[in-house]
Amino acid sequence: DGTFQPAPYAYSLYYMASVPKEGATVFAPLTEVIEGLSPEKYAEWDRLWMASDRRAGPVHPLIYTHPRSKKKVLCFHLGMTSDFIYDYGNPGERLATPQEFTRILNEIHHEFVKDNGKIQYKHNWEEGDFIISDNCAVAHEASPETQTSRSQVGLRVLHRTTVHNPIPPAKTL
């Protein structure tokens, strides 16, 4: 969350006020995603920067160093990325082609769901659940059922609060 900000949010807090019949949230550790990459894919992704789809939004390295743990993590948003840029700020900088862009987004998603979602934690909400997530270390995605009509699954009311992060993503700290 917050990839359209100079520094994506540090933490996300979730409180489930009203639970539908279906609709989980899936969480995945970003460092484990990176550790599961082939050397070739890591080398390519390490050259990439993501651009937010917001006008004049920031550009962030796809792989960067977590500001607190110092581990490698990812900065991306599957639904709010307008472009990937190879070698941003260096000679040879270029935008990914539309085909490369689609391939990269698909590869990122694949890394989260491969091996039957082995690295994922799927949280099936109960009323009153409260989760605090390190937004820089853990990705999240609402399950497809969350988009089902209210008449079919009931009302989902999830309160979310985000915590400001003063440290923008950087290749090294």
Contact 77, 109 (CB under 8 A): no
pLDDT at 72: 96
Residue 56 scores a pLDDT above 90:
no
Residues 6+ apart with CB under 8 A from 102: none
User: Whole-prediction pTM value?
Assistant: 0.90
Domain ranges of the chain: 11-163
Q: What is the pLDDT of residues 82-98, one digit of tens each?
A: 899 999 999 999 999 99
Residue length, the chain?
Answer: 173
Contact 93, 83 (CB under 8 A): no
Contact 57, 4 (CB under 8 A): yes
According to CATH, the topology of domain 11-163 is Double-stranded beta-helix (3.60.130)
- Mean pLDDT of the region 34-62: 91
Q: What is the pLDDT of residues 117-129, one digit of tens each?
A: 889 999 999 999 9
